[in-house]
């Protein structure tokens, strides 16, 4: 069951400096406890929407509200506001190496809570809890830079979860992961959503969206929301998926018979 809106975009428009508008009058809400897929081809604007939610970019017009409050760039000039806003929202980058700040896994996970000036005993408890929850205690003394891609993803997720965020935002979370690590990540995300965390997952992986997210928003290559509704519905609308450049048909001849196959971005 979902609750009040955590994010509310109302006729929001956004442009990067000195460039044409990327979004014009975008409106949608994401509610507490939802698991929502943000679908679209590369360049459709998925990552930019995530950055706005995370307070890394700010709209030029319209409004963006988070947790019931209108958010502007000026808010983040207040260090206290910025610190606590980012503690409520966990963002896992597509390239997890950009999130690495220390040379030991334990210290990497502890870094965020220490920046919140939590007592050392509380930091210790949180780090140990998240190491156990993700079953990565064996990595505690390792250097994050010497881990495999899958292990780095686990540590990056740990460094987010240790802050106990209400909202978890992921940008192409399964990119570059082997099948076993993908399966592990999906099971963890399902468990987190069952616990009441709000999940927002930007992806062009339709199978991932189907598994994790009852609701999907679909962005066109013209940066417009062309669908907002049940994921099952959009996954069965092949014409709209083709329009958004998420699937394509290709043809080949086999035993003198022409066959059609559907290519899906993964």
Looking at the chain, how many residues does it have? 266
What is residue 266's predicted lDDT score, i.e. its pLDDT? 47
Structure tokens at 53: 């939610």
In the 8-state DSSP scheme, what is residue 255? T
Classify residue 153: in a domain, yes or no: no
Residue 185: is it exposed, middle or buried by C-beta count within 10 angstroms (0-12/13-18/19+)? buried
Write down the pLDDT at residue 3: 80
User: Is residue 169 within 8 Å of 11, Cβ to Cβ?
Assistant: no
- How far is it, in rounded angstroms, from Cα 71 to Cα 69? 6
- Does a structural domain hold residue 46? yes
- Containing structural domain, residue 23: 1-32+42-67+197-266
Q: What angle do CA 67, 70, 71 make, to 5 degrees?
A: 90
The answer, as to whether pTM is greater than 0.85, is: yes
Coil, helix or strand at residue 134: coil
- Please report whether residue 181 resides in a domain: no
Q: Is residue 173 in some structural domain? A: no
Residues 64-113 have pLDDT tens digits of 999 999 999 899 999 889 988 998 999 998 877 667 778 899 999 999 99
Task: Judge whether 239 lies within some domain.
Answer: yes
CATH code at 54?
A: 3.40.50.300
- Which regions in the chain score pLDDT beneath 70? 1-2, 97-98, 249-266
Residues 6 and 166 sit within 8 Å (Cβ to Cβ)? yes
Tell me if 164 is assigned to some domain.
no
DSSP string covering 162-195, please?
TT--SEEEEESTTTT--HHHHHHHHHHHHHHHHT
């Amino acid at each position: 069951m979902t609750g009040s809106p955590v994010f509310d975009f109302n006729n929001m428009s956004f442009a990067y400096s000195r460039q044409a508008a990327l979004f014009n009058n975008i409106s949608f809400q994401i509610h507490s406890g939802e698991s929502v897929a943000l679908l679209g081809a590369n360049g459709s604007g998925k990552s930019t929407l995530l950055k706005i939610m995370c307070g890394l970019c700010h709209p030029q017009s319209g409004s963006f509200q988070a947790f019931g409050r209108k958010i502007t760039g000026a808010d983040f000039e207040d260090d206290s506001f910025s610190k606590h806003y980012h503690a409520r929202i966990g963002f896992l980058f597509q390239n997890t190496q950009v999130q690495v700040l220390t040379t030991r896994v334990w210290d990497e996970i502890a870094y965020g809570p220490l920046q919140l000036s939590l007592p050392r005993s509380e930091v210790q408890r949180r780090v140990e809890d998240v190491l156990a929850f993700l079953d990565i205690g064996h990595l505690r003394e390792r250097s994050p830079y010497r881990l495999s891609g899958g292990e780095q993803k686990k540590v990056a997720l740990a460094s987010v979860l240790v802050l106990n965020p209400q909202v978890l935002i992921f940008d192409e979370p399964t990119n570059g992961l082997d099948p076993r690590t993908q399966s592990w990540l999906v099971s963890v995300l399902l468990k987190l959503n069952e616990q009441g965390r709000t999940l927002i997952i930007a992806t062009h992986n339709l199978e991932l969206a189907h598994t994790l997210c009852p609701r999907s928003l679909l962005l066109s290559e013209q940066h417009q929301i062309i669908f907002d509704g049940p994921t099952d519905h959009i996954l069965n609308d092949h014409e709209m998926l083709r329009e958004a450049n998420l699937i394509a048909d290709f043809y080949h001849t086999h035993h003198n018979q022409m066959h059609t196959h559907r290519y899906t971005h993964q």
